[in-house]
A and B are shown apart, each in its own frame.
Chain A
Amino acid sequence: MTMTITEKIIARAAGKDSVSPGDVVFANVDKVMVHDVSGPGVATIFNDLEKEGHKIDKLWDPSRIWVAEDHFVPASDKQAAQNIGTLEDFVKRFHISKHFKYGIGQFGICHTLSHEEALVLPGEVYVGGDSHTNTTGALGAFAVGMGHTDVAYVMLNGTIWFRVPETLLFKINGRLPDYAMAKDMILRIIGDIGTDGGAYYAMQFDGSAVREMAMDERITLTNMTTEAGAKNGVIDPDEKTVEYLKARTSEKFTPVHGDKGAEYAKVYEYEAGKMVPLVAKPYSPANVVEARELTGVELDKAYVGSCTGAKLTDLREVAKILKGRKVKIRTEILPAAQSIFMQALKEGLVQIFMESGALVGPPTCGACCGAHMGVLRKNEVCISTTNRNFPGRMGDKESKTYLASPKTAAASAVTGRITDPRDLR
């Protein structure tokens, strides 16, 4: 029986020879992550269980658990600081060693750390207390976002129930033109299938354009499968995946590959060469039009940040556009992890950003989810490299967010209105 990569990983983790879409299984989990929003939630559940008389002496396997601080850091107020304290107590109590503390060494957004630090490996089952856990499927893992009850269950039992998803295969052939990015590609797909077009499915990406993409561009594809409602996003690992991980870990791993002739619920084909810069208008990531159709839209802010839009490739592309130019609107650039910030510094990107007049800040999810550090006021209009533009997502519910690639966001920062990077003089 042939299986997709997602089915194969689940089957192995469930101790079965094979699984089919629709099967419900309990599967062993390899890695689990919480951050400063889902972590305190897990701690609350453990407190409640203990109040009910359950004893929690130890977790299933602390070496497979890792913790990030990314949403309300640097602590936005007293409550946020308290939650970080709760997370610290939790980590100490259960002897979790992989704690990426904000302001010490390597830290940043959880979905960036997962690949930057090779915390998840090909073929693994990875559960994270955040919806964009899908991101890490770009490494060839089965990566799924869940709420804090499910994460707490995994931390205690090392296993969780899954319904095996059908897979949608997106074959992206050819080569992306130099004015388009993976963000344009995934916006095109979400625009075509809608915010529930991938609901309960695995969304798998393949084709020569995907194979050619840098790892951190591939990650943009899997990251935003969440915006199509998918259970997971995945890319069958290749030499690039292996090379990327070997540079970051000495841990051994055996990639799992989908079978030839595996069944897909649907196969979509795209020609990368035809891609143009796109923008998702408020208030849905599926509300996608060509950037050139929005040329008149005046902006208040450009934001380059988040797990999907502030990786090294993103920053390099922004720098190419901002070099020797000045920004016309408030522009905030927040690399997704400290390691990326450091590399941007070494490559002179930070200098370019600052000379253009932009703000450069520390890694945080803050502004992306309207929490702190750059929240939008009523009627403000922002072009953003993030992944959501629901009402109130980045601040006041009457603010407006346009989602775009880092290139389009940078070009727009220079003109102060939505600008296709091809039209920038």
Chain B
Amino acid sequence: MTILRGRVHKYGANIDTDVIIPGAYLKEMDPKKLATHAMEGVDSEFTKKVKPGDFVVAGRNFGCGSSREHAPIALKYSGIKAVLAPTFARIFYRNAVDGSHLLPIEITDDAYSKIEKDDELEIDLQNGQIKNLSRGASYTMKPFPDIVLKIIQAGGLMNYKPDKH
């Protein structure tokens, strides 16, 4: 795994899948078209501002609500490489990892409160370190659970070969 670098789009807690990608678009099968509606329910400017490699930083329980995999897909195709939040809703987390769409990175509540919008972050996945280049600060990320790390390294669940059990 490598080092990721990008700019922050910051949101509050309980960002649900209905605001990440509203229900009316769930019939859309083209991921690029889905991306044009990413975060529409909470930030109508998001798709204009986002650049490839950017990060979403959000409060607790990111991605709560529906099982729609359209949510991490819409974020991925809008350019988001990772979402950083103190906690994630379980289906969003699974979808992000198993579908290999983006990295759900758990950070502390303190780090969440200190990172601001438009900050430039550098994430060292190998060492679990997040550098805030805009503020000269650094934070640690919670290590991925073993199975999650293996699935990420395999490039998604479809490519993952479980150990014999």
Contact = CB atoms under 8 A, between A and B. Distances in A.
A195 B14 contact: yes
Interface in A50-105: 71-72, 76-77, 79-80, 83
B35 to A, nearest CB: 15
A211 interface: no
Given A71-B26, A149-B158, A397-B40, 9 more contacts: A24-B145, A147-B68, A148-B99, A149-B98, A150-B94, A163-B145, A391-B41, A391-B42, A397-B22
A36 B28 CA distance: 11
A199 interface: yes
Nearest to B71: A147
A231 interface: yes
B158 A45 contact: yes
Interface string B21-43: 01110111100000000001110
Contacts of B18: 369-370, 388, 390-393
Interface stretch (B58-66, B104-112, B122-130, B136-144): B58-66
B96 to A, nearest CB: 9
Contact of B22 (A25, A37, A370, A372): A370
A147 B69 contact: yes
Contact of B157 (A83, A153, A393): A153
Nearest to B95: A147
Nearest to A24: B147
Given A195-B14, A369-B23, A149 B90 contact: no
19 contacts: A37-B26, A71-B27, A146-B91, A147-B67, A147-B99, A148-B99, A161-B157, A195-B61, A196-B64, A199-B61, A369-B26, A371-B23, A371-B26, A375-B24, A388-B18, A390-B41, A392-B19, A393-B18, A397-B19
A131 B27 contact: no
Contacts of B69: 38, 41, 147-149
B42 A147 contact: no
Contacts of A147: 67-69, 91, 94-95, 98-99
B98 A371 contact: no
Interface of A: 14-15, 24-26, 36-38, 40-41, 44-45, 49, 71-72, 76-77, 79-80, 83, 129-131, 133, 145-150, 152-153, 161, 163, 195-196, 199-200, 229, 231, 284, 369-372, 375, 388, 390-393, 397
Contact of B19 (A40, A199, A391): A391
Given A131-B91, A147-B95, A37 B29 contact: no
A147 B63 CA distance: 12
Nearest to B96: A147
A229 B61 contact: yes
Interface of B: 14, 16, 18-19, 22-24, 26-29, 40-42, 60-61, 64-70, 87, 89-91, 94-95, 98-99, 145-147, 156-158, 162, 165
Contacts of B24: 370-372, 375
B165 A26 contact: yes
A397 B157 contact: no
A153 B158 contact: yes
B165 A25 contact: yes
B13 to A, nearest CB: 9
Contact of B65 (A148, A200, A388): A388
Contacts of B60: 196
A124 B133 CA distance: 50
B162 A26 contact: yes
A400 to B, nearest CB: 14
A131 B66 contact: yes
Contacts of A200: 90
A375 B66 CA distance: 18
Nearest to B26: A37
Nearest to B41: A392
Contact of A229 (B64, B66, B67, B95): B64
B41 A196 contact: no
Contacts of B66: 130-131, 369
